């Protein structure tokens, strides 16, 4: 006996990836509905590589009664409109948007980090998926925090254009092509040219000069991992199609060596340590595409602070940063609460 599952936003990058991962992981599904806006109604979409296809339904007209789990990838405006409706009908919403992440009645879950927090989902019948850059970082931080207690994190991100959706990927492709043939590379989606450039600006600016993306990393890390951890972030968009990278500097309360950290990370759930002190002995975004793991490289001690480490963290932002984490939440929900497929 399986679940009746909805994927909303199924025609977008993350929605398609959700369908791929549900198929890859053989999530126990009895019925599947794929939803999108009226623009995509009637389109045919593949269910991974299973050979099955589904016709896209209009989310406006969909009745969620009798469905078990809905994976949402429809943005905050869509979630605001439809998540309460689905939740009230008894369909648990796993939402990829930022809308509910900091709601105290909505669990914000990374299954390798805080699985027990999912028990609070019944208050709203909604579970939040974290920001893509936060998700991979806390997977790396959790086992180290358990071992030596983290005081402070300084992170600089190198975030791919797929984090801005299909429009971001199209813009990088079109600008790159235009530059090669001598045409103008005018920015549309981004604030400046992204091809052959980096942009230290993701999401809107806040009063203190930080951006909302940076704020998300701070508050989400505190909610998921530990409210006492101090976090400062600089979020940068780079001309990479898929895969977010992060340079993370960590200050601990207790002593921890680079070798101890490597030993811990080597055994940590969701982590793949690739750290050789040689040419190519580290992971780059292009190598993480399509993978489930959060890859850690360049683990080393920071002599400028007491009990400090630096490391390099790479993950597929469409997978662990979004779709994979959502499916893992669904699996966790099934194991701990719904138990239909037990």
Point out the residues that are catalytic: 132, 244
- On whether 280 is known to bind a ligand per the annotation, the reply is no
Whether residue 96 is annotated as binding a ligand: the answer is no
249 is in an annotated binding site: no
User: With contact defined as beta carbons under 8 Å apart, do 207 and 162 qualify?
Assistant: no
Q: 111 near 324, Cβ under 8 Å? A: no
Distance (Å, whole) CA 166 – CA 13: 7
**Using CA atoms, how far apart are residues 308 and 153, in angstroms rounded to an integer?**
10
The pairing of strands 3-8 and 29-36 is: parallel
For 304, residues 6+ apart whose C-beta sits below 8 A from its C-beta are none
* Residue 25 marked in a binding site: no
CA atoms within 13 A on the CB side of 201: 12
Q: What does the block give as tokens for 147?
A: 């071992």
Q: Is 163 a known ligand-binding residue?
A: yes
CA dihedral over 223, 117, 145, 234, signed as positive or negative: negative
Q: Is 204 flagged in the annotation as binding?
A: no
Tell whether residue 48 is among the known ligand binding residues: no
The strand ranges marked E within the chain are 3-8, 29-36, 44-46, 53-55, 57-58, 69-72, 92-95, 126-128, 150-159, 230-237, 244-252, 271-273, 294-302, 308-315
Is 39 marked as a binding-site residue? yes
Does 11 carry a binding-site annotation? Answer: yes
Q: Tell me whether residue 131 is annotated as binding.
A: no
298 has binding-site annotation = no
193 is in an annotated binding site: no
Token pair in block for residue 143: 């086992």
Spatial separation of the C-alpha atoms in residues 336 and 342, rounded to whole Å:
10
User: 68 and 340 in contact (C-beta within 8 Å)?
Assistant: yes
Helices (H), 8-131: 13-24, 75-88
Binding residues for NADP(+): 11-14, 39-40, 162-163, 317
**Residues tagged in the binding site annotation:** 11-14, 39-40, 101, 159, 162-163, 237, 317
List, as residue ranges, the binding site for substrate: 159, 237
């Amino acid at each position: 006996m399986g679940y009746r599952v909805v994927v909303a936003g199924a025609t977008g990058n993350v929605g398609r990836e959700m369908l791929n991962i549900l198929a890859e992981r053989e999530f126990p599904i009895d019925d599947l509905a794929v939803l999108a806006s009226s623009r995509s109604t009637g389109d045919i979409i593949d269910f991974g590589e299973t050979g099955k296809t589904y016709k896209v339904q209009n989310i406006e007209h969909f009745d969620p009664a009798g469905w078990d789990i809905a994976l949402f990838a429809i943005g905050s405006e869509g979630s605001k409109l439809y998540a309460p409706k689905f939740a009230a009908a008894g369909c648990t919403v796993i939402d990829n948007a930022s809308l509910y992440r900091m709601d105290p009645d909505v669990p914000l879950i990374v299954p390798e980090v805080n699985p027990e927090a999912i028990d609070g989902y019944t208050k709203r019948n909604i579970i939040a998926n974290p920001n893509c850059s936060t998700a991979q970082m806390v997977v790396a931080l959790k086992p180290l925090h358990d071992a030596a207690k983290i005081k402070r994190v300084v992170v600089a991100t190198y975030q791919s254009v797929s984090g801005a959706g299909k429009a971001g990927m199209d813009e990088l492709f079109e600008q790159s092509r235009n530059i090669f043939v001598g045409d103008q590379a005018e920015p549309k989606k981004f604030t400046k040219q992204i091809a052959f450039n980096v942009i230290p600006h993701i999401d809107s600016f806040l009063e203190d000069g930080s951006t909302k993306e940076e704020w998300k990393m701070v508050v989400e890390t505190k909610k998921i991992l530990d409210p006492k951890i101090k976090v400062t972030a600089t979020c940068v968009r780079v001309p990479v199609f898929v895969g977010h990278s992060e340079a993370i500097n960590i200050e601990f309360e207790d002593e921890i060596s680079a070798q101890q950290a490597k030993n811990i990370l080597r055994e940590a759930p969701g982590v793949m340590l690739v750290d050789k002190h040689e040419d190519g002995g580290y992971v780059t975004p292009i190598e993480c595409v399509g993978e489930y793991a959060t890859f850690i490289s360049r683990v080393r001690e920071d002599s400028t602070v007491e009990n400090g480490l630096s490391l390099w963290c790479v993950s597929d932002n469409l997978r662990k940063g979004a779709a994979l984490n959502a499916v893992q939440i669904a699996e966790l929900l099934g194991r701990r609460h719904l138990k239909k497929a037990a």
